[in-house]
């Protein structure tokens, strides 16, 4: 459900209906385990002042390799930012640098006095005492939050309430943390982060290993209830489209620039695929031009002064060549007409791509036009090859 089929605008209706039926059954089962009723995450948030987080010309290097270079941005209240890019581009590094967990190569990061970070990292819960139980872990986090630590009974009540809302049934509250499944540990990790009531939330691949219903609860909370700043690293297009407003794009390939993309992740993927296809076509064109230049140079060198034996052989070869039949001459004319038609179609599609306007056309249309240009180019190359074979014999 979180991946769009290629060259299609929509998914199979029957598959979508089956997904929603399964989702409903899972939600009903989890609601029954947690005491019934609609499951909804509700967590407090510490007050956020007027000064948030400001980055001025920030650069970060890992092992001498620049990862972030010249990054400047002033976060706003209720900012929703996704961080995307290939593996190894520096997405997690950027999250750690924003919190002051990494030294900067240059630039400054200034955080307001009221900013409280909540960091959900890919490494998981980390080292936890083997005797620590689920409820105790959450209760410790609650005690560190504003208003916590005053009364053990109040902290316990708040912890059990959060556990219920985050789909932990009572029979699991007193289970040792080390005995939880991987998915349960990730869910508990997220719960511990939110229990501290952060107002600047940084999530690194939050949907990995979380079950479907937990992801739904988290999406609703981030979209409807969380009023702080959100920065989330993810490859999950569906999740990012629901919870963020714009993106920080890290291109990778030793390009340390952080680009601010003011649109959804789905729109960025269409744009990125279009750019890649354009680059591939340009590379193919450059390779073809280079090959033609090399062939022309070879032909010029051969014609400038070939040995007598080679010239005699060339004349003999031309005399022995079989002339074109009437059918082949007609085919040569048809190939010329087909080349002209394909060239015109390719030019029309390229003009539509070059004048693309999101206000008038959808990104799905742009993707289709780009794909058609590639198909037409392949057909044209095939027709040109056939034409050249016949044209060489026609000139003899």
DSSP letter string, 105-118 = SEEEEEE-TT--EE
| Separation CA 99–CA 193 (nearest Å) | 15
In this structure, what token pair is assigned to residue 153?
């009974």
| Separation CA 273–CA 275 (nearest Å) | 5
Same domain, 189 and 258: yes
* 366 pLDDT above the threshold of 80: no
Same domain, 338 and 245: no
The answer to whether residue 369 is domain-embedded is yes
* Segments of the chain assigned E as strands: 53-62, 65-74, 80-84, 106-111, 117-120, 200-204, 229-233, 246-249, 259-261
The answer to whether residue 186 is domain-embedded is yes
Number of neighbouring beta carbons within 10 Å of residue 284 = 13
Strand 53-62: give its sheet, edge to edge.
Answer: 65-74, 53-62, 106-111
pLDDT category of residue 318 using cuts at 50, 70 and 90: very low
pLDDT, mean of residues 139-146 = 82
pLDDT at 93: 92
Q: Which of 276, 239, 282 is nearest to 82 (CA)?
A: 239
Higher pLDDT, 103 or 390: 103
Same domain, 247 and 117: yes
Count: domains in the chain: 2
Domain end residue (candidates: 213, 240, 262):
262
pLDDT at 120: 93
Which single residue is written with the structure tokens 């970060």?
A: 60
How many residues are present in the chain? 396
Same domain, 221 and 84: yes
Domain end residue (candidates: 245, 262, 279):
262
Same domain, 282 and 258: no
Same domain, 218 and 342: no
Domain end residue (candidates: 203, 237, 262):
262
Residue 40, classed as helix, strand or coil, is coil
Q: Give the torsion through C-alpha atoms of 328, 332, 333, 334, to 10 deg.
A: 90
Same domain, 96 and 242: yes
Q: For the ranges 5-19, 49-63, 243-257, 278-292, which has the lowest average pLDDT?
A: 5-19
Strands 200-204 and 117-120: parallel
Do residues 143 and 196 touch, judged by C-beta distance below 8 A? no
The answer to whether residue 155 is domain-embedded is yes
Q: Which of 200, 204, 194 is nearest to 144 (CA)?
A: 194
The answer to whether residue 11 is domain-embedded is no
- Could you tell me the residue range of the domain that residue 253 belongs to? 29-262
Q: Which residues pair with 204 in a beta bridge?
A: 233
The answer to whether residue 1 is domain-embedded is no
Same domain, 258 and 279: no
Cα–Cα distances in Å, from 235 out to 55, 302, 304? 24, 56, 59
The answer to whether residue 71 is domain-embedded is yes
The answer to whether residue 334 is domain-embedded is yes
The answer to whether residue 287 is domain-embedded is yes
In this structure, what token pair is assigned to residue 310?
């080679």
Number of neighbouring beta carbons within 10 Å of residue 64 = 6
Whichever domain contains 203, its CATH number is: 3.40.50.300
Rounded to a whole number of angstroms, the distance between the first and last alpha carbons of the chain is: 61
Q: Which of 173, 207, 201 is nearest to 46 (CA)?
A: 201
Same domain, 199 and 305: no
Residue 17 CB partners (closer than 8 Å, separation 6+): none
Q: Which of 214, 241, 208 is nearest to 82 (CA)?
A: 241
Same domain, 217 and 279: no
Same domain, 244 and 312: no
Same domain, 203 and 286: no
Q: What is the pLDDT of residues 54-105, one digit of tens each?
A: 999 999 998 888 899 999 999 998 899 999 998 888 999 999 999 999 999 9
Q: For the ranges 188-197, 202-211, 284-293, which has the lowest average pLDDT?
A: 284-293
């Amino acid at each position: 459900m979180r991946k769009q089929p290629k060259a299609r605008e929509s998914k199979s209706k029957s598959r979508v209906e089956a997904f929603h039926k399964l989702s409903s059954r899972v939600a009903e089962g989890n609601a029954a385990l947690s005491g019934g009723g609609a499951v909804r995450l509700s967590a407090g948030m510490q007050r956020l002042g007027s000064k948030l987080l400001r980055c001025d010309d920030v650069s970060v290097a890992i092992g001498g390799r620049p990862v972030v270079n010249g990054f400047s941005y002033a976060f706003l209240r209720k900012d929703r930012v996704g961080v995307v890019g290939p593996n190894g581009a520096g997405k997690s590094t950027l999250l750690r640098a924003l919190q002051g967990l990494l030294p900067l190569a240059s630039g400054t990061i200034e955080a307001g006095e009221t900013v409280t970070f909540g960091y959900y990292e890919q490494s998981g819960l980390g080292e936890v005492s083997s005797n620590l139980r689920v409820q105790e872990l959450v209760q410790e986090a609650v005690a560190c939050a504003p208003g916590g630590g005053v009364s053990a009974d109040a902290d316990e009540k708040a912890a059990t309430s959060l556990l219920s809302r985050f789909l932990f049934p009572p029979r699991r509250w007193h289970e040792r943390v080390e005995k939880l499944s991987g998915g349960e540990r990730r869910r508990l990790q997220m719960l511990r982060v939110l229990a501290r009531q952060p107002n600047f939330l940084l999530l690194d691949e939050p949907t990995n290993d979380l079950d479907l219903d937990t992801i739904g609860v988290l999406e609703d909370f981030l979209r409807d209830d969380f009023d702080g700043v959100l920065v989330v690293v993810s490859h999950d297009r569906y999740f990012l489209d629901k919870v963020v407003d714009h993106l920080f794009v890290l291109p990778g390939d030793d390009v340390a620039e952080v680009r601010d993309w003011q649109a959804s992740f789905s729109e960025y993927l269409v744009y990125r695929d279009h750019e890649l296809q354009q680059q591939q076509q340009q590379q193919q064109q450059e390779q073809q031009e280079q090959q033609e230049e090399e062939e022309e140079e070879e032909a010029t060198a051969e014609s400038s002064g070939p040995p007598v034996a080679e010239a005699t052989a060339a004349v003999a070869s031309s005399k022995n060549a079989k002339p074109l039949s009437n059918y082949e001459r007609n085919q040569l004319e048809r190939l010329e007409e087909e080349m002209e038609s394909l060239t015109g179609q390719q030019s029309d599609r390229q003009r539509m791509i070059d004048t693309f306007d999101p206000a008038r056309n959808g990104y799905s249309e742009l993707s289709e036009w780009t794909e058609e240009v590639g198909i037409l180019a392949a057909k044209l190359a095939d027709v040109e090859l056939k034409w050249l074979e016949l044209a060489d014999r026609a000139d003899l």
